[in-house]
Amino acid sequence: MEHRQAPPESGQQAAEPRATILIVDDHPANLVALEAILSPLGHELVMARSGEEALRRILHGEFALILLDVQMGDMNGFETASLIKQHPRSRHIPIIFITAVNRDAAHVFRGYSHGAVDYLVKPFDADILRSKAAVFIELYVRGEKLKLQERLLHQRERDAAERRSQERYRRLLDAMPQCIWAADAAGHVNYWNRPGLAYCGLQPADVHEESFWDCLHPDDRVDARAGWEAGLRSGVPFERQVRIKRATDGTYRWHIARAVPERESDGTVGGWIATATDIDDQKQAEEALRKAIILRDDFLSVASHELRTPLTSLKLEVANLSRIAQRNGGGESAPRLLAKVEKIDSQAARLHRLIDELLDVSRIAAGRLELHVETVDLAQVVSEVGSRFTDEAARAGSTLNVDAPAAVVGRWDKSRLDQVVTNLVSNAIKYGDNKPIDVSVASDEKNAIITIRDRGLGIAEHDHERIFGRFERAASSRHYGGIGLGLWIVKQIIDALGGTVTVASTPGDGSTFRVELPRYADKIRHPPPIAGNGADRARPSSVQPS
């Protein structure tokens, strides 16, 4: 911290002020005579040979007294005195007129009316002039001394106020939990706050040029130092995450270190203030969360695979069973058996979708969504999904009306589009309140549009965006099964294909989901890995055109 030079102590006296006398006379002989009379006073004497010269001198100097000859060639003494008295700078200077001739009262009176403090007629007694001059000089010197004392007093008050404010500033820095340093413009650290010293286990006397760098983790030193030196050169604030050793237990804790320049009034860097804030707990919590997310995703991935395998064979067996029941039909129990098999089949299919969704989540979250782009007829995809769901809709007491033109061709991933339409249609059946559902496909030159309209539950406006988030569900659907992943997956796929998916809905009056897809997207945009999802371990997602 900067240490100012101590102000003069209160007992210290200011130097004796010097006084200057201006002598104005157009006769050099008179000037010499006056000089001889006044020089024993020991003050400075300045000579002027005319009124004009006198005024010029007054403009550039400080005078305690003016001796002014009344009769002068260019401008007489009275005129000169009038001009002196008009100027704020010289108005207060006492003037003694000197004259050789005019003794009459009117003249003397005129002299006083022009601001003279005295009027001397030659020949005069040298001692009298000297002692008169000495009185005015004494008055002047006292006045100057007073002014000086006053200035000193103010200076002392200002210094004391500055000391108090520095003290307060220092106490404030010591009370802060961060480690704080101050450095000069060249980067030499000249101040540590108490918490900084305590953290690094240093006493003020132990601190040396390298102390700060010694406290840093060896792996962070080179980079931090390079950054700090670059900051010093450019005057740009510096920020780094660094590990600083805690003296109490010898552990290195993560800190965010910042240094900002202190600028002088002319904009130059006068010094630096650096702080280090402990972010170790925060960093550890982030790390723990990251690990937990990686574990969760690994678990989801493994568990889904494990669940999927027996389920696939179960589905196969159910399908066989169904075929056998149909072939051996005729018995009374056959329709009931068939109904049960169908129920098992539909439940197994639901379970299958659920597991597929879980698998997709871990894939997408890790940035591993794979798209196999090829020429696809969207109308055909939608019709196929429609036929697949006709029975399920009928079982729910609903009807599924599909309105698709002959063909809507584009470059897409067929199975992912199937997945999108499947999710939207199965939601329409689930939340459709057993009312008719309309699915349509349309296109223009550039885009294809799919709409899925149901007449059921509907979605409140404030949920319209939210339901496309991961694990997000509308409050209105809490009595229905579901885990809130279907729409998120839909959005990820549609985003990757360069399209949009939106919903328009009025609660109680159904929902219309609208998917708009460019038919020939320039580029597939892979959803980026989700932060903290073990993305660093992920393979890059890929497109495999066929």
Does 216 help bind ligand ADP (rule: CB under 6 A)? no
Binding residue for ligand ADP (CB under 6 A) from 64, 66, 180, 485? Answer: 485
Q: Quick one: which segment of 23-31, 171-179, 259-267, 452-460 binds ligand ADP (CB under 6 A)? A: 452-460
DSSP 3-state of 133: helix
Cβ of 121: how many Cβ atoms within 10 Å? 15
Helix or strand holding residue 47 (H, E)? strand 44-48
For residues 535 and 322, what is the distance between their CA atoms, to the nearest angstrom? 43
Does 389 help bind ligand ADP (rule: CB under 6 A)? no
Cβ of 534: how many Cβ atoms within 10 Å? 20
Does 435 help bind ligand ADP (rule: CB under 6 A)? no
Residue nearer to ligand ADP on the CB measure, 98 or 417:
417
Binding residue for ligand ADP (CB under 6 A) from 187, 227, 482, 532? Answer: 482
Q: Quick one: which segment of 155-163, 169-177, 318-326, 454-462 binds ligand ADP (CB under 6 A)? A: 454-462
Pair 503, 491: CB distance under 8 Å: no
Which is it for the CA torsion 188, 191, 195, 201, positive or negative?
positive
Q: For residue 466, give the DSSP letter.
A: G
Does 419 help bind ligand ADP (rule: CB under 6 A)? no
Binding residue for ligand ADP (CB under 6 A) from 129, 244, 474, 517? Answer: 474
Pair 17, 141: CB distance under 8 Å: yes
Does 477 help bind ligand ADP (rule: CB under 6 A)? yes
Does 511 help bind ligand ADP (rule: CB under 6 A)? yes
| 500-505 vs 511-518, strand pairing mode | antiparallel
Binding residue for ligand ADP (CB under 6 A) from 90, 193, 422, 427? Answer: 427
Least gap, CB of 430 to ligand ADP (angstroms): 6
Least gap, CB of 345 to ligand ADP (angstroms): 20
Least gap, CB of 295 to ligand ADP (angstroms): 23
Does 454 help bind ligand ADP (rule: CB under 6 A)? yes
Which is it for the CA torsion 193, 194, 200, 206, positive or negative?
positive
CA distances from 86 to 89, 149, 349 (A): 9, 29, 109
The two structure tokens encoding residue 451: 């709409």
Binding residue for ligand ADP (CB under 6 A) from 259, 457, 493, 517? Answer: 457
Does 483 help bind ligand ADP (rule: CB under 6 A)? yes
Q: Quick one: which segment of 9-17, 95-103, 441-449, 451-459 binds ligand ADP (CB under 6 A)? A: 451-459
Count of positions (residues) in the chain: 546
Does 486 help bind ligand ADP (rule: CB under 6 A)? yes
Pair 501, 513: CB distance under 8 Å: yes
Q: Please name every residue paired with 371 in a beta bridge, in sequence order, or none if there are none.
A: 543
Binding residue for ligand ADP (CB under 6 A) from 78, 368, 431, 517? Answer: 431
The two structure tokens encoding residue 295: 């574990």
Residue nearer to ligand ADP on the CB measure, 63 or 431:
431
Q: Quick one: which segment of 182-190, 314-322, 474-482, 521-529 binds ligand ADP (CB under 6 A)? A: 474-482
Least gap, CB of 468 to ligand ADP (angstroms): 8
Does 493 help bind ligand ADP (rule: CB under 6 A)? no
Residue nearer to ligand ADP on the CB measure, 231 or 510:
510
Q: Please name every residue paired with 119 in a beta bridge, in sequence order, or none if there are none.
A: 97
Nearest alpha carbon to residue 296 among 449, 113, 471: 471
Nearest alpha carbon to residue 135 among 48, 15, 21, 51: 21
Q: Quick one: which segment of 4-12, 27-35, 343-351, 483-491 binds ligand ADP (CB under 6 A)? A: 483-491
CA-based R_g, the chain, Å: 49
Residue nearer to ligand ADP on the CB measure, 456 or 499:
456
For residues 400 and 387, what is the distance between their CA atoms, to the nearest angstrom? 9
The site for ligand ADP, by CB under 6 A, has a size of: 20
Residue nearer to ligand ADP on the CB measure, 386 or 486:
486
Residue nearer to ligand ADP on the CB measure, 378 or 485:
485
Least gap, CB of 489 to ligand ADP (angstroms): 8
Identify the burial level of 246 via C-beta atoms within 10 angstroms of its C-beta, where 0-12 means exposed, 13-18 middle and 19 or more buried: middle
Least gap, CB of 427 to ligand ADP (angstroms): 4
Residue nearer to ligand ADP on the CB measure, 505 or 533:
505
Binding residue for ligand ADP (CB under 6 A) from 487, 493, 494, 515? Answer: 487
- Residues 216-222: contacts with CB within 8 Å, 24+ apart? 216/242, 216/243, 216/244, 216/245, 217/242, 217/243, 217/244, 217/245, 217/252, 219/243
Least gap, CB of 347 to ligand ADP (angstroms): 15
Q: For residue 90, give the DSSP letter.
A: T
Pair 503, 414: CB distance under 8 Å: no
Least gap, CB of 419 to ligand ADP (angstroms): 12
Binding residue for ligand ADP (CB under 6 A) from 216, 450, 459, 497? Answer: 459
Nearest alpha carbon to residue 240 among 265, 219, 259, 262: 259
Does 532 help bind ligand ADP (rule: CB under 6 A)? no
For residues 24 and 27, what is the distance between their CA atoms, to the nearest angstrom? 9
Q: Quick one: which segment of 21-29, 116-124, 179-187, 476-484 binds ligand ADP (CB under 6 A)? A: 476-484
Q: For residue 307, give the DSSP letter.
A: H
Q: Which residues bind ligand ADP (CB under 6 A)?
A: 423, 427-428, 431, 454, 456-457, 459, 467, 473-474, 477, 482-488, 511
